[in-house]
Copies of this chain bind each other. A is one copy, B any other.
Amino acid sequence: MNRPDIRRLPKRGDPQEAQKKLLEAVQSKVLTSESAALADAVGRILAKDIYANINIPAYDKTFIDGYAINPQTTAEASPTKPVIFKIIGKLFPSDYPTNVQVALGETVYVATGSAIPKGAFSTVKVEETRLNGDQIEIVRPIKPGEGIIPIGDDVKEGSLLLGRRHVLRPQDIGLLASIGLAEAEVFKKPVVAILSGGDELIKQSQKNPAKFPNNYALVVAGLAEELGAEAELKGIMPDSLELVEGRISEALEGSDIVVTIGGSSVGVKDFVPDAVSRLGQPGVVVQGINLRPGAVSGFGIVKGKPVVMLPGHIGSCIAGFYLFVAPLISQFSGLQEEGMQPTLPAELSEAIDSGPQFRFLLLSLKRAESRLLASPVEGGSSALTTIVRANGYAVIPPHTNLSKGAAIDVQLFCKLETAQMS
């Protein structure tokens, strides 16, 4: 009987170099945008700068319920020497625009948000006045501008409200609505097509103890969506070079990024790298990186699109995902650098030695007094429970010793981790 045909991995390069090579290879991709209704635009990324087309407020208005006056006669006002104003009307916000005018010694009741009548320069709270028939008494000096928000105070016409590449939060949506927008131009979400390798996989929920459910694809899809992508589960690749090639080719249609899980190493049934290289130039660009876990990760470029080859062990798969897929999603989403992935400064709970390779160190975060404490999460790289116990990770360079209490930036897997940190 013959020994199975075992190939060797090429020399494993620096993970940061490999990531840089990937992002450079796809940097010419033209990002497209689409229009999204404001109510659906939370979490989307602005595709262009938004300038204010109006002033907010649009006119000088009162921010209190009170009386609008010309304050110049109040300089000597006191409880014993009150200054009298005659009430000549009422204004509500819906009365704008108004021609009401007050003379010296006259006043108008103004409900919060109302325009200031001509001749008035201040408003005084109802509670601060004394009512006497159709007159009020002012019992202290009032400064010009008191009680009033001047035109453009909140938003100045022509000013930059929100910049391109800004992630829209609920309050940003409110701000866009306040200048009369009903939609926002946002970047299209990149489409990530996910293929799982190896016929030991079964489709999800076909229970069979001998096989794995296709659960890692669900994890990768969920993470990709949390980072701003649209994920498409493309099923399981059969164990044949031609069929794998065909499935990757299909997945490339209509997607921006193809991700394969498993079959990327040098085993007997690891068809993915060969399939990628057969699909077009340059094919596989990086196969194998100096990262533990995650060493068997790599990527190719086919028809200008990235094909990321993730290892089949979940720990390695996640490491490769954050090294290659997460930055691709950021770049293709219109974001820069870390994108939607939170990075939090923390303190290491125990000493760490990275060893001879770059280390993808899983960490769990807890709030402790006035800081976050990051504890290394131990466990096999094939155990999903290890990832479940972690909130994020840090990539530590080779031969690095970090002492207990050292500062460390933790990259959370996704925003949802912040709900699991207490």
B222 touches A63 (CB 8 A): no
Known: A1-B87, A58-B209, A416-B167. A372 touches B344 (CB 8 A): yes
Question: Is A382 among interface residues, defined by CB-CB distance under 8 A?
Answer: yes
Q: Quick one: which of B269, B314, B422 contacts A174, CB cutoff 8 A? A: B314
Interface size class of A (residues with CB under 8 A): 35 or more
The residues of B that contact A54 with a CB separation of less than 8 Å are 209
B417 touches A169 (CB 8 A): yes
The residues of B that contact A383 with a CB separation of less than 8 Å are 153-154
Known: A3-B87, A418-B415. A218 touches B59 (CB 8 A): no
Which of A178, A220, A313 neighbours the largest number of chain B CB atoms within 10 Å of its CB? A178
B93 touches A211 (CB 8 A): yes
The residues of B that contact A212 with a CB separation of less than 8 Å are 93, 113, 178
The residues of B that contact A141 with a CB separation of less than 8 Å are none
B3 touches A131 (CB 8 A): yes
Question: Is A96 among interface residues, defined by CB-CB distance under 8 A?
Answer: yes
Question: Is A171 among interface residues, defined by CB-CB distance under 8 A?
Answer: yes
Q: Quick one: which of B39, B175, B382 contacts A63, CB cutoff 8 A? A: B382
B204 touches A177 (CB 8 A): yes
The residues of B that contact A335 with a CB separation of less than 8 Å are 419
B388 touches A371 (CB 8 A): no
Question: Is A170 among interface residues, defined by CB-CB distance under 8 A?
Answer: yes
Name A8's closest neighbour in chain B (CB-CB): B127
Once bound together, how far apart are the Cα atoms of A155 and B384, in whole Å? 9
The residues of B that contact A387 with a CB separation of less than 8 Å are 171, 174
Name A125's closest neighbour in chain B (CB-CB): B6
A59 touches B170 (CB 8 A): no
Name A55's closest neighbour in chain B (CB-CB): B209
Once bound together, how far apart are the Cα atoms of A126 and B267, in whole Å? 10
Q: Quick one: which of B223, B338, B370 contacts A170, CB cutoff 8 A? A: B223
Q: Quick one: which of B63, B211, B367 contacts A94, CB cutoff 8 A? A: B211
B418 touches A6 (CB 8 A): no
A343 touches B112 (CB 8 A): no
Q: A78-107 toward B: CB 8 Å interface, digit per residue (1/0)?
A: 000000000111101110110000000000
B38 touches A204 (CB 8 A): yes
The residues of B that contact A136 with a CB separation of less than 8 Å are 3
A4 touches B344 (CB 8 A): no
A155 touches B342 (CB 8 A): no
The residues of B that contact A385 with a CB separation of less than 8 Å are 154-155, 161, 175
Name A216's closest neighbour in chain B (CB-CB): B174
Which of A96, A213, A415 neighbours the largest number of chain B CB atoms within 10 Å of its CB? A415
Question: Is A268 among interface residues, defined by CB-CB distance under 8 A?
Answer: yes
What are 29 of the A-B contact pairs (CB < 8 Å)?
A39-B221, A42-B222, A42-B225, A42-B416, A65-B265, A149-B382, A154-B383, A161-B385, A169-B417, A170-B220, A170-B221, A170-B222, A170-B226, A171-B219, A171-B384, A174-B218, A174-B314, A174-B387, A175-B215, A175-B388, A178-B213, A335-B419, A345-B367, A345-B369, A369-B407, A371-B371, A415-B416, A415-B419, A418-B418
What are the 10 A-B residue pairs with the smallest beta carbon separation, nearest first? A170-B222, A370-B407, A93-B200, A342-B418, A58-B209, A177-B215, A174-B219, A182-B205, A96-B210, A180-B207
Question: Could you list which residues of chain A lie within 8 angstroms of chain B, going by C-beta atoms?
Answer: 1-4, 6, 8, 38-39, 42-43, 54, 56, 58-59, 63, 65, 87-90, 92-94, 96-97, 109, 111-113, 115, 126-127, 131, 134, 136, 149, 153-155, 161-162, 166-167, 169-175, 177-178, 180-182, 198-200, 204-205, 207, 209-216, 218-223, 225-226, 233, 265, 267-269, 312-314, 318, 335, 337-340, 342-345, 347, 367, 369-372, 380, 382-385, 387-388, 407-409, 412-422
Not counting A170-B221, A175-B384, A370-B409, a sample of 17 additional A-B residue pairs whose C-beta atoms are within 8 angstroms of each other reads: A3-B126, A6-B127, A43-B416, A65-B268, A93-B210, A154-B380, A154-B382, A169-B420, A170-B225, A170-B416, A171-B223, A171-B318, A171-B387, A174-B222, A175-B388, A182-B205, A342-B421
